[in-house]
């Protein structure tokens, strides 16, 4: 799975994008933005001669637009503007744009190339890297999609300066996850980053290391047959929390749900695999202080969360919920099954 990851320095975004386009030598360039990135981010690339001639399609912002109707509009845009499988689609946006745009490119004409330019920290460290693409369907996250990587992922941390603290923290939750699944040293390092100051220069090195963790795992298992399931740590419960929040019309950001999922799944890791109770408590304290608690959840919601988890893509059947858990930092155990009573204890914790 070849994917070139480029983290730019200061004003080099246009230079790096021009270089990527030259390498691909496409027969036609197309750009996908959402309403926010068209207004706030597109100016950073529109001076490139190739982009000045490129048709641009703008979709609605937010995860509610990550659906079949929006996907169809992108296919229609590509079709009407004469795209071919030798063209390239540039996805400029957060995880919703890169997920949906990557899926559109991967399926149009049976597959055209695409470039991701993530404009959020969450998109840079998670969605844009590794080749997972897709849309939400029937109220379930990323229910329909394919694994097919972008040819290039160009990351410019200057975009992250426009994010509010909530979206910065949402992205940082995935960095916390990478620390847990890699090593105690990496975990300690990511805890020391000042998330209130959020220095973008300092963030570059943390981002490089975090993406490197993901790339190492994806390279070993591109299609998630075994070890790539490590990247789902915190997500089985996290995705259920996120879906529940949308059902209650009180949506939470993806990273917040993942952060809470990390705490619950660390509890399961301690109960089933002996992960250090002291480290579980440390993670819980840090995440509660940084992300708060999911106040919209009560014990009356546990059965619904359980039902949502039964639809998780990692499950081998709807009768057993499959978890990725940790026996220690960097010691990942896949395909762990948890009974309902213990699962409810973890959510309560």
Please name the residue ranges forming H helices in 121-199.
121-122, 165-182, 184-192
Residue 167 is among the residues annotated as catalytic for this protein: no
208-241 confidence digits (pLDDT tens)? 999 999 999 999 999 888 899 999 999 999 999 9
Helix (H) or strand (E) holding 208: helix 200-220
Question: Contact at 8 Å (CB) between 142 and 99?
Answer: yes
Residues 38, 57, 152, 214: which is the catalytic one? 214
What are the residues whose beta carbons fall under 8 Å from the beta carbon of 43, sequence distance 6 or more?
none
Residue 1 pLDDT level (bands cut at 50, 70, 90): low
Q: What percent of the chain has pLDDT over 70?
A: 97
Residue 178 is among the residues annotated as catalytic for this protein: no
Dig out the tokens for 93 from the structure.
Answer: 């946006």
Question: Contact at 8 Å (CB) between 4 and 153?
Answer: yes
Q: How far out from the chain centre does Cα 110 lie?
A: 24
Residues 110, 197, 295, 341: which is the catalytic one? 110
Would you call 31 helix, strand, or coil by DSSP? strand
Residues 44, 66, 132, 168: which is the catalytic one? 132
Q: Tell me which of 100 and 161 has the higher pLDDT.
A: 100
27-57 confidence digits (pLDDT tens)? 999 999 999 999 999 999 999 999 999 999 9
Residue 277 is among the residues annotated as catalytic for this protein: no
Task: Check whether 163 has a pLDDT greater than 80.
Answer: yes
Q: What is the pLDDT of residue 261?
A: 98
Taking the C-alpha atoms of residue 90 and residue 32, their distance in angstroms, rounded to an integer, is: 6
Between vectors from CA 281 to CA 280 and to CA 282, what angle results, nearest 5°? 90
Residue 132 is among the residues annotated as catalytic for this protein: yes
Residues 38, 57, 254, 270: which is the catalytic one? 254
What Å distances lie between residue 184 and 125, 187, 326, 345, CA to CA? 19, 5, 12, 26
Residues 38, 141, 178, 235: which is the catalytic one? 235
Residue 202 is among the residues annotated as catalytic for this protein: no
Residue 246 is among the residues annotated as catalytic for this protein: no
Least confident of 6-15, 51-60, 100-109, 315-324: 315-324
Q: Within 10 Å of residue 43's Cβ, how many Cβ atoms?
A: 9
Question: Contact at 8 Å (CB) between 148 and 133?
Answer: yes
Q: Tell me which of 226 and 121 has the higher pLDDT.
A: 121
Q: What is the pLDDT of residue 312?
A: 77
Residue 128 pLDDT level (bands cut at 50, 70, 90): confident
In total, the chain counts a number of residues equal to: 349
Taking the C-alpha atoms of residue 51 and residue 31, their distance in angstroms, rounded to an integer, is: 8
Q: Stretch 293-301: mean pLDDT, rounded? A: 94
Hey, what domains does the chain have and what are their CATH numbers? 4-162 (3.40.50.1970), 165-348 (1.20.1090.10)
Taking the C-alpha atoms of residue 111 and residue 103, their distance in angstroms, rounded to an integer, is: 9
Rg (CA), the chain: 20
Q: What percent of the chain has pLDDT over 90?
A: 86
Burial pattern 141-155, b for ≥16 Cβ within 10 A else e, equals bbeebebbbbbbbbb
Residues 16, 186, 224, 265: which is the catalytic one? 224
Residues 228, 242, 265, 270: which is the catalytic one? 228
Taking the C-alpha atoms of residue 14 and residue 344, their distance in angstroms, rounded to an integer, is: 49
Task: Check whether 314 has a pLDDT greater than 80.
Answer: no
- What average pLDDT does the structure give for the chain? 94
Task: Check whether 313 has a pLDDT greater than 70.
Answer: no
Residues 232, 242, 265, 270: which is the catalytic one? 232
Residue 239 is among the residues annotated as catalytic for this protein: yes
Please report, for the chain, how many H helices and E strands are present, in that order. Answer: 14, 10
Helix 340-348 vs helix 254-273: angle between axes, to the nearest 10 degrees?
120
Question: Contact at 8 Å (CB) between 314 and 325?
Answer: no
Question: What is the DSSP secondary structure assignment for residue 147, as one 8-state letter?
Answer: B
Residue 214 is among the residues annotated as catalytic for this protein: yes
What are the residues whose beta carbons fall under 8 Å from the beta carbon of 148, sequence distance 6 or more?
102, 106, 111, 131, 133
Helix (H) or strand (E) holding 200: helix 200-220
Residue 224 is among the residues annotated as catalytic for this protein: yes
């Amino acid at each position: 799975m070849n994917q070139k990851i480029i983290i730019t320095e200061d004003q080099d975004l246009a230079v790096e994008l021009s270089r990527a386009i030259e390498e691909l030598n496409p027969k036609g360039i197309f750009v996908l933005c959402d309403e926010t990135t068209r207004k706030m981010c597109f100016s950073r690339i529109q001076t490139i001669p190739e982009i000045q001639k490129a048709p641009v399609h703008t979709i609605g912002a937010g995860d509610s637009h990550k659906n079949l109707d929006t996907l169809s509009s992108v296919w229609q845009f590509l079709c009407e503007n004469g795209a071919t499988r030798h063209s390239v689609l540039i996805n400029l946006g957060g995880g919703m744009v890169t997920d949906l745009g990557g899926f559109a490119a991967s399926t149009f004409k049976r597959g055209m190339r695409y470039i991701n330019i993530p404009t959020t920290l969450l998109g840079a460290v998670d969605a844009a890297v590794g080749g997972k693409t897709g849309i939400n369907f029937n109220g379930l996250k990323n229910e329909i999609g394919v694994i097919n990587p972008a040819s290039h992922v160009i990351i410019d941390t200057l975009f992250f300066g426009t994010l509010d603290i909530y979206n910065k923290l949402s992205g940082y939750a995935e960095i916390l996850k990478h620390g847990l699944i890699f090593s105690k040293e990496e975990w300690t390092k990511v805890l020391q980053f000042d998330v209130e100051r959020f220095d973008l220069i300092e963030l570059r090195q943390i981002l490089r290391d975090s993406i490197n963790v993901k790339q190492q795992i994806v390279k070993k298992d591109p299609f998630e047959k075994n070890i790539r399931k490590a990247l789902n740590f915190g997500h089985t419960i996290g995705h259920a929390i996120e879906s529940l929040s949308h059902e209650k019309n009180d949506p939470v950001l993806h990273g917040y749900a993942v952060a809470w999922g990390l705490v619950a799944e660390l509890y399961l890791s301690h109960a089933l695999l002996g992960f250090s109770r002291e480290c579980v408590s440390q993670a819980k304290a840090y995440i509660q202080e940084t992300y708060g608690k999911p106040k919209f959840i009560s014990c009356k919601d546990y059965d619904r969360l359980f039902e949502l988890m039964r639809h998780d893509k990692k499950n081998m059947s709807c009768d057993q919920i499959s978890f990725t858990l940790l026996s220690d930092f960097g010691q990942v155990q896949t395909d762990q099954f948890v009974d309902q009573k213990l699962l409810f204890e973890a959510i309560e914790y």
